[in-house]
């Protein structure tokens, strides 16, 4: 069965390259520190995998029709569009702030939403990412379960899900590294912050809309 787990791991890597997943990681990671980005990407991956596991167990008992599980794609698309609208709203209302200050003689840049700058909101961000990952895991869930079930007598166990999450995490963390580079090189002024967040919002809406119309 080791080969089966490797196949699932590879499937997780391929699955993570979907534009909806990369868009979600971008939306959550822009302006975040390395620590927060790593927590966010892992939380998103585990939320995604646990939704897969829960739906696998449900579908083992109840054979839901195709039109019911297709609603998962609608939910996933709506989440992406909602994130995009939220980012555009925050830009339009000027609620995204950049704060420069020094710690022990070294300059730090912090980007935050709202009126108050919070130094450690990692737990809140990770919880939000886990929730979004879980919601987006509903999209295309039947197709994923068919692929995984073929490798294990049509029964999806937790180890298979962990292999899938590991594959997804490789891509998410690697892509998170790209976002960290953008954070460091481009998010150095209020103008650039507004431009980058607005671009991310527009891309989210475009990707989510394309998923709905597909």
DSSP the chain: -HHHHHHHHHHHHHHHTSHHHHHHHHHHHTT--HHHHHHHHHHHHHHHHHHHHHHHHHHHH----HHHHTHHHHHHHHHHHHHHHHHHHHHHTT-EEEEEEEETTEEEEEEEESSS--S--HHHHHHHHHHHHHHHTTTTHHHHHHHHHTTTTT---HHHHHHHHHHHHHHHHHHHHHHHHHHHHH-SSHHHHHHHHHHHHHHHHHHHHHHHH-
User: What pLDDT is recorded for position 198?
Assistant: 92
Contact 148, 8 (CB under 8 A): yes
User: What pLDDT is recorded for position 127?
Assistant: 73
User: What pLDDT is recorded for position 124?
Assistant: 63
Q: What is the pLDDT along the chain (214 residues), one digit of tens a residue?
A: 577 778 878 888 887 888 877 888 887 777 777 777 888 888 888 887 788 777 767 766 776 666 666 677 787 788 889 989 999 998 998 888 777 666 566 655 667 666 555 555 566 666 777 777 777 766 655 556 555 555 555 566 778 778 888 888 888 888 888 888 887 788 878 888 888 889 999 999 999 899 888 7
User: What pLDDT is recorded for position 138?
Assistant: 65
User: What pLDDT is recorded for position 141?
Assistant: 59
Residue for token pair 């912090």: 110
**What residues does each domain of the chain span?**
2-213
Q: How far is CA 163 from the centre of its chain?
A: 18
User: What pLDDT is recorded for position 43?
Assistant: 85
User: What pLDDT is recorded for position 156?
Assistant: 66
User: What pLDDT is recorded for position 209?
Assistant: 93
Read off the pTM: 0.74
Closest alpha carbon to 111 in 125, 131, 126: 125
Q: How far apart are CA 202 and CA 175, in angstroms?
A: 19
Q: Return the axis-axis angle of helices 158-186 and 190-213, rounded to nearest 10°.
A: 140
């Amino acid at each position: 069965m080791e080969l089966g787990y490797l196949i699932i791991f590879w499937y997780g890597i391929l699955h993570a390259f979907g534009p909806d997943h990369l868009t979600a990681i971008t939306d959550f990671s822009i302006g975040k520190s390395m620590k927060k980005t790593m927590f966010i990407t892992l939380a998103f991956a585990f939320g995604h995998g646990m939704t897969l596991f829960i739906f696998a167990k449900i579908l083992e008992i109840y054979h839901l029709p195709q039109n019911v599980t297709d609603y998962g794609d609608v939910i996933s698309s709506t989440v992406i569009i909602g994130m995009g609208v939220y980012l555009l709203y925050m830009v339009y209302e000027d609620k995204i702030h950049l704060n420069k200050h020094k710690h022990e003689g070294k300059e730090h840049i912090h980007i935050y939403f709202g009126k108050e700058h919070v130094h450690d909101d990692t737990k809140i961000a990770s919880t939000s990412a886990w929730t979004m990952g879980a919601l987006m895991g509903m999209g295309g869930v039947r197709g994923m379960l068919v692929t995984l079930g073929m490798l294990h007598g049509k029964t999806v166990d937790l180890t298979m899900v962990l292999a899938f999450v590991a594959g997804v995490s490789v891509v998410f963390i690697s892509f998170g590294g790209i976002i960290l580079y953008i954070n460091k090189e481009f998010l150095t002024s209020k103008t650039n912050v507004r431009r980058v967040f607005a671009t991310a919002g527009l891309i989210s809406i475009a990707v989510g809309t394309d998923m709905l119309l597909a």
